[in-house]
């Protein structure tokens, strides 16, 4: 991370650093006022004379122990001398005693510098996010963002968190029909079999540890976790008095290894192997082992093609009959338009083999996404459309199997003006409707989601 000029970037009493010092520090008679001492310390830092700069900074602190500028100079000198823990402590004290965003910005960069140099990239990234939040101007913010990306790229450990809250008309994946027709006779469905409205709250985390890396390849150990909680609405509680939100809580953990490499300058391949477990309503639901292979190739600056193969062995703990082996093939392309908007089209073929007639099926799904490059009303906009068809050879409710058709649409709005430390809220409006020749599987889902995501 190149932050040698963090003090200048922060503009903390150092805007007029033009004091000529040639030969020794005091080649000419200089009145050692606090301002002169600050300037002299800065020039010494630029000359690589950290020990002398540290002496001046400590002298200043004997008279002004809460001076943010002196603490910042002390931090930079300690870092140059390889005293990374001390440099970090001094930068944190400088942050504590800062009075302006300019001072806080310089202090945050200095803290990140000490932490990164001391082999602590994750807390360094947190301080760089703080620097983004208090950056005095767009250029300073860009410097912090670039340093963040650099530190993250050099870190063996990386993490990504996603928090979302989504009111939904169908939190239990229930049917939109009140009646099931079976052998020509109508059967009224129970309240909890029909769609229940409520709020889904979820927290997902992805962690990666870089095992090996070269110029053309890298291997990562991955760990993921997810927790989704459900709160039922008043109308849902009236419809299904015995149902509780905890009945639909979903939890999952996954561990895996991933290898990515570049067989050509224009292409990248990724292979992965993962193992995971899921719980539903607090009870074990399933275990799975999945293997993935994906490849993308840049045809030009504006066109890219991609493909993926996946195989998954699912073992159900709740009902062994519902265990399945699932294979998928995905193909697609992306295109950047003349106005820098992007289009993405993908088609997926899926084959699910199971002893359960509710699970065993073939499916084809198509998805089209459009993302607007330039902000509109200060926000980034994207739209996704999906269509899916499923064929079930067998059905408990209908001779000759069943067929489901689903159509969905989603609008996402990233609210850039509400950026906080590199995190932005994303508003999502979505709807999905499924039509089946067995009415039990008709469903409608509408939702408005709010999530917090990192820009990086």
Last residue of a domain, one of 100, 131, 154: 154
> How crowded is residue 425: how many other Cβ atoms within 10 Å of its Cβ?
19
**What does the block give as tokens for 322?**
């519902």
**What CATH number is given to the structural domain containing 229?**
2.40.160.40
Domain co-membership, 303 together with 214: yes
Domain boundary residue among 126, 154, 182? Answer: 154
Domain boundary among 154, 185, 205: 154
Q: Is it the case that residue 195 has pLDDT exceeding 80?
A: yes
Does one domain contain both 140 and 162? no
Among 16-30, 206-220, 231-245, whose mean pLDDT is lowest?
Answer: 16-30
Q: What pLDDT is recorded for position 24? A: 45
Whether residue 311 sits in one domain with residue 431: yes
pLDDT at 17 > cutoff 80: no
Rounded Cα distance, 228 and 252, in Å: 9
Q: Which residue from 424, 413, 340 is spatially nearest to 383, judged by alpha carbons? A: 413
Question: Are 208 and 130 within one domain?
Answer: no
Lowest pLDDT segment from 8-12, 123-127, 261-265, 417-421 = 8-12
Q: What percent of the chain has pLDDT over 70?
A: 91
If pLDDT is split at 50, 70 and 90, which confidence band does 20 have? very low
Tell me: the pLDDT tens digits for 31-76? Answer: 567 888 888 888 888 888 889 889 888 888 888 889 999 999 999 9
Q: Express each pLDDT in 382-396 by its tens digit.
A: 999 999 999 999 988
What is the reported pLDDT for 185? 58
Residue 265 forms part of a structural domain? yes
289 with 259, same domain: the answer is yes
Question: How many structural domains does the chain have?
Answer: 2
Of the candidate ranges 20-24, 93-97, 205-209, 303-307, the one whose mean pLDDT is the lowest = 20-24
220-246: average pLDDT? 93
CATH number at residue 107: 1.25.40.10
Q: What is the pTM of this model?
A: 0.79
Same domain? For 246 and 129 the reply is no
| pLDDT tens-digit readout, 326-378 | 999 999 999 999 888 999 999 999 999 999 999 999 999 999 999 998 888 88
Same domain, yes or no: 150 and 289: no
- Distance, CA of 28 to CA of 46 (rounded, Å): 19
Long-range contacts of 389-395 (CB under 8 A, 24+ apart): 389/363, 389/364, 389/365, 390/361, 390/362, 390/363, 391/361, 391/362, 391/363, 392/357, 392/358, 392/360, 392/361, 393/357, 393/360, 393/361, 394/357, 394/360, 395/357, 395/438
Residues 139 and 161 in one domain: no
- Report which of residues 394 and 176 the model is more confident about: 394
Which domain, by its residues, includes 145?
6-154
The pLDDT score that the predictor gives to residue 179 is 65
Question: 58 and 131, same structural domain?
Answer: yes
């Amino acid at each position: 991370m190149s932050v040698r000029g963090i003090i200048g970037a922060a503009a903390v009493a150092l805007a007029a650093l033009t004091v000529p010092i040639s030969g020794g520090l005091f080649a000419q008679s200089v009145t050692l006022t606090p301002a002169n001492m600050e300037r002299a310390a800065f020039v010494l830092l630029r000359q690589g004379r950290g020990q002398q700069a540290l002496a001046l900074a400590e002298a200043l602190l004997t008279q002004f122990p809460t001076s943010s500028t002196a603490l910042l100079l002390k931090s930079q000198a300690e870092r140059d001398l390889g005293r990374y823990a001390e440099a970090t402590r001094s930068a944190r004290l400088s942050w504590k005693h800062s009075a302006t965003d300019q001072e806080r910005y310089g202090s945050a960069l200095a803290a990140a510098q000490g932490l990164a140099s001391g082999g602590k990239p994750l807390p360094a990234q947190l301080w760089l996010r703080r620097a983004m939040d208090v950056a005095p101007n767009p250029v300073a913010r860009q410097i912090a963002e670039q340093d963040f990306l650099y530190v993250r790229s050099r870190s063996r450990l990386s993490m990504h968190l996603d928090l979302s809250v989504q009111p939904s008309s169908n939190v239990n994946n229930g049917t939109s029909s009140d009646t099931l027709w079976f052998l020509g006779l109508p059967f009224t469905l129970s309240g909890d079999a029909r769609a229940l409205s409520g709020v889904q709250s979820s927290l997902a985390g992805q962690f990666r540890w870089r095992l090996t890396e070269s110029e053309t390849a890298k291997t990562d150990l991955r760990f993921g976790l997810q927790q989704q909680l459900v709160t039922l609405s008043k109308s849902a509680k009236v419809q299904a008095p015995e149902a509780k939100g905890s009945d639909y809580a979903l939890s999952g953990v996954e561990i895996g290894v991933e290898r990515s490499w570049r067989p050509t300058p224009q292409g990248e391949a990724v292979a992965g192997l993962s193992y995971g477990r899921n719980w539903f309503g607090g009870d074990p639901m399933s275990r799975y082992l999945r293997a993935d292979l994906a490849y993308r190739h840049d045809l030009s600056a504006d066109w890219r093609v991609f493909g993926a193969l996946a195989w998954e062995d699912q073992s159900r703990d709740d009902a062994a009959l519902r265990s399945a082996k699932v294979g998928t093939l995905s193909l697609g392309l992306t295109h950047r338009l003349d106005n820098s908007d992007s289009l993405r089209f993908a088609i997926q073929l899926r084959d699910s083999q199971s002893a359960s007639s509710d699970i065993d099926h073939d499916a084809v799904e198509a998805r089209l996404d459009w993302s607007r490059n330039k902000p509109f009303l200060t926000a980034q906009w994207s739209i996704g459309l999906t269509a899916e068809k499923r064929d079930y050879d067998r059905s408990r409710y209908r001779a000759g199997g069943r067929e489901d058709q689903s159509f969905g649409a989603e609008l996402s709005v990233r609210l850039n003006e509400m950026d906080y430390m590199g995190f932005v809220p994303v508003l999502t409006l979505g709807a999905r409707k499924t039509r089946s020749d067995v009415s039990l599987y008709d469903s409608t889902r509408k939702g408005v989601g709010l999530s917090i995501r990192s820009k990086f």
